[in-house]
Structure 1
């Protein structure tokens, strides 16, 4: 799905990744090659109040001269309770190849299918994901059907994947906690510039601190403020230590996922992937970053083939 499309190729489907803040659409042919692409800030938050989902979708499709008969498949927050039409969660364990069976179709000018998210009730603590499951389908499309998948971000997901089935997963609010602490807590006074270039030594020491049996996150956090009052830390030391403590605490809590020497496949931006890989190596785990930029598109295309070709 990386080859250049033929100049005479016709669109097969429109693929949409509809997040909370952002909207992204691809027009692809029957081989998954991109014929056109649109991106905007028309996420769920911008569309929900006035129910602008249908209008926004058509605006972007018209800009790409998409025929009115062209079907659309959507992943993400358009299927949330506050979105266009709720696509109820599918409970784990579940095969990602079967998610197309649970799509919902809102009223629209064309065939529109919204993929569901996943929920966990019996295979672990209550948990949910919406959007990441389509990235996971992209991971499978790329050839990895079994393994541990770590998906860092605002809410980091850890997934136990076995032969294409999500057995269980856990969510860590690491990214959100970092943002809140660095911008709204007393620690903001120790990092007025916010996140900056990584201080590798500070990050590594913080990660190792978090792995200690006697580690306490709340007391360790205040040590960042105390260091700013009693010493002269490097400009980026405080943010790097905060990042190391939070990521280290997350990884320490997820050891059961990669026990026994399992490789952790990381799906994230290059910067986040590098941080998690560094921390995982300090934990004695093997880490393998994956290119997450196209995974949603690949997962959407796999579902589209199930919907419109194979069924």
Structure 2
């Protein structure tokens, strides 16, 4: 069967493209590090054109994009859709790129960007871009309840049927990067950033902040002192920092919601750490692959937009 459309997941520092059929078959793909940050100077059109060429995408195929290409610093800002919302309704709010932005893509006339989601609550304002496509994929599979989506800015969202009712963002991944690279703790960190999910130092630290998330800031400086006084080495310290940060996030969520089960939209490495922390906290997990789920969300949305059969 021939391909029907092109799906693109455009992150802050990554790019993924699939040439797909309406049956879900992948006819070609291309990926790279040309995320929104890179495109700020290189331009979005040339990057997309290059990846379409690499994936051997037929001309005139419609293209559906999710993620940071629709941000304020992206290719074309797409307004946020407000929650609560039926996630399937996002298809009707995709914005088609005008001709003046398609000079590098003259044969691809129908390119659309999905909106992000906004929680317009003055007490708990929040936004997401890209993760909503994973939620579309989950809703398409009739998965509901509390969903954890790890990342630089991880999201915890609640799906009730096909409706997203609320979500919370944590900058846990960014905090790990800032503390390990740009704080006094950087002198106590190894060059390698690999942490095994069964690392006993990771699990012990996670257990502390799962039990009491407020313990986090008190526990940070002793990481530095422990290395200076030869109680721990750098790899142990790095694992403890990760455990403290992820544990505080998990602890906050399960304490607030009395959580018994979570759908974890995981990715290699980071997803395994969240799975270990949640399992250690006694939470039952349903694990799904982040990339597959995003692709399923793009497929369901493209099928609705272009009435693909």
> Normalized against structure 2, the TM-score is what?
0.90
Q: Post-superposition shift, 1:39?
A: 1.4
Give the corresponding residue for 1:73.
64
- Verify the 8 A CA contact 1:138 1:297 in the aligned structure 2: yes
Mapped pair 1:37 → 2:35: no
Provide the secondary structure at the position in 2 that maps to 1:68: coil
CA distance in 2 between partners of 1:250 and 1:208 (Å): 11
RMSD in angstroms over aligned alpha carbons?
Answer: 2.2
Deviates more, 1:274-283 or 1:219-228: 274-283
Give the corresponding residue for 1:118.
117
Give the corresponding residue for 1:208.
207
The alignment of Structure 1 onto Structure 2 pairs a total of residues equal to 300
Q: Post-superposition shift, 1:214?
A: 8.4
Give the corresponding residue for 2:82.
91
- Verify the 8 A CA contact 1:194 1:239 in the aligned structure 2: no
Give the corresponding residue for 1:22.
14
Residues 196 and 60 (structure 1), Cα distance of their counterparts in 2 relative to 1, 3 Å cut = closer
Matches within 5 A, 1:177-192: 177-192=175-190
Residues 18 and 211 (structure 1), Cα distance of their counterparts in 2 relative to 1, 3 Å cut = closer
Mapped pair 1:82 → 2:73: yes
Q: Post-superposition shift, 1:258?
A: 4.7
Structure 1 residues not aligned, in runs of 5+: 1-8
CA distance in 1 between partners of 2:207 and 2:55 (Å): 51
Alignment counterpart, residue 290 of structure 2, candidates 289, 292, 305? 292
Q: Deviations over 1:72-114 (max 9, x none)?
A: 1110111111111111111111111110111111123311111
Mapped pair 1:47 → 2:20: no
Q: Deviations over 1:173-223 (max 9, x none)?
A: 111101111111111111132434447322222122213458432221011
Provide the secondary structure at the position in 1 that maps to 2:167: strand
CA distance in 1 between partners of 2:53 and 2:203 (Å): 50
Structure 2 residues not aligned, in runs of 5+: none
Give the corresponding residue for 1:147.
145
Matches within 5 A, 1:111-260: 111-122=110-121, 125-144=124-143, 146-198=144-196, 200-213=199-212, 215-255=214-254, 258-259=257-258
Residues 123 and 27 (structure 1), Cα distance of their counterparts in 2 relative to 1, 3 Å cut = farther
Residues 251 and 197 (structure 1), Cα distance of their counterparts in 2 relative to 1, 3 Å cut = closer
Provide the secondary structure at the position in 2 that maps to 1:267: strand
Provide the secondary structure at the position in 2 that maps to 1:236: helix
- Verify the 8 A CA contact 1:124 1:168 in the aligned structure 2: no
CA distance in 2 between partners of 1:167 and 1:214 (Å): 25
Q: Post-superposition shift, 1:141?
A: 2.5
Residues 166 and 307 (structure 1), Cα distance of their counterparts in 2 relative to 1, 3 Å cut = same
- Verify the 8 A CA contact 2:189 2:237 in the aligned structure 1: yes
Alignment counterpart, residue 101 of structure 1, candidates 80, 92, 101? 92
